[in-house]
Amino acid sequence: MKHEAIRKSFERFLRTRDLKLTSQRSRIFERAFSTHEHFSAETLYDWLREEEGPKVSRATVYRTLGLLLEGRFIQSLDVGRGELVYEHVTGHAHHDHMVCLACGKIEEFHDERIEALQAEASAKRGFVVVSHAHRLVGYCRGCVRKARREDEEEQRFGGGAATE
C-alpha cells in the first residue's frame, strides 16, 4: 500500500473517532512511517523534538501511537526492556522477531514452516487467527561470540579472587 493511501486510511480512521489529522498527529504519522527502525515512544518524541516542525508534546506522541495501534497501522513489540517498541506494518509483509537480551538488537524473520504449524494448530481447534506476534528472545550471534571470547579470556587468565 502506498504511503499516501495509508495516510488517507489513517485520516478515515480518525474521523470514525471524531478526530482530525492535526499538524501534530500528521508529524507523528510521517515520522513513524519514515523509518524502518523499531522505535520507542520516547525515541519518537526525541526525533520530533530534534527536527523542525510543529511542536508535539510527549502526551500527544503516546496518544497518537495508541490510535495508530488501534487502527492497526503500527504494531508494538515488548522487547523486555521496560518499554514497547513500534514499527509500521501497513503495506509490509508479515514477519516475526528475534530480540537480543544483551544488545537489544531486533532481527526480523519469516519462516513458512512456523506459519504452517500455527495455521494447523489453529485449524485443529477451530480457531480463526486474525493476527499474531511471534517473538524469540535470546542472544544474537555477535553477543554469543563476545560472551565466548570473554569466557575464554577469563579461563585463560584465571578470573576470580586472588588467594593468599
Percent of the chain with pLDDT over 70: 95
Helix pair angle (3-16, 23-33), 10° resolution: 140
The β-bridge partners of 107 are 98
Residue written as grid cell 518499554:
83
| Residue closest to 3 by CA, chosen among 73, 100, 65 | 73
- Report the pLDDT value the prediction gives residue 154, as an integer from 0 to 100: 80
- Taking 80 as the threshold, does the pLDDT of residue 90 lie above it? no
At 43-66, the pLDDT tens digits run 999 999 999 988 999 999 999 999
Does pLDDT of 121 surpass 90?
A: yes
pLDDT of residue 150: 86
Whole-model pTM: value is 0.76
Write the CATH number of the domain with boundaries 1-92: 1.10.10.10
pLDDT one-digit tens code per residue, 35-47: 888 999 999 999 9
pLDDT grade for 151, boundaries at 50, 70 and 90: confident
Report domain extents, the chain: 1-92, 94-159
Question: pLDDT at position 82, please?
Answer: 83
Instruction: Report the topology of domain 94-159.
Output: Dna Ligase; domain 1 (3.30.1490)
